[in-house]
Amino acid sequence: MRMQLSSGMTFFAKFLPAVWLLLPTSLAVVLLVRWDPGFFIVAGFVLVCFTLFWFSSFRLKAVIATDHGLCVSNYVEAVLIPYSQVAHVSYSFFNRQRVTLVLKSPCRFGRQIVFVPYTYFTFFGRREHPVVEFLRVRCG
């Protein structure tokens, strides 16, 4: 059994902010080469944007459920995390519907795995995503 748990748009949500940052970063480099004082404003803007993107997009992973565990990928490398290694599953409805997996011991990607689950439409009765229920049953 293989089941895609993360959104199909994860790749774009992860890498489009990096592409967007190319313009202000290249402007900062040009201003630095010219010794223009505007460099500090643009560099500050780039730093703030990078920090925001780090916490919102760059940490996202692609997650696939298999019979043996979770295949977690950052699009460069992938690791298999057994279900028994997941200590806690949390869901944030307000933070762009993110699922956070806290691991018992760190893996290649750290102790927390953050991903956006696949799109799921519901009416007002349900608050948690089915992926969270699936993971709690498998890891519990």
Check the CA dihedral 108-65-13-55 and report its sign: negative
Contact 76, 90 (CB under 8 A): no
Closest CA to 3 of 64, 74, 72: 64
CB atoms within 10 A of CB 102: 12
26-83: per-residue pLDDT in tens? 999 999 999 989 899 999 999 999 999 988 888 999 999 999 999 999 999 999 999 9
Q: Burial level of 101, CB count in 10 A (0-12/13-18/19+)?
A: buried
For the entire predicted model, the pTM comes to 0.82
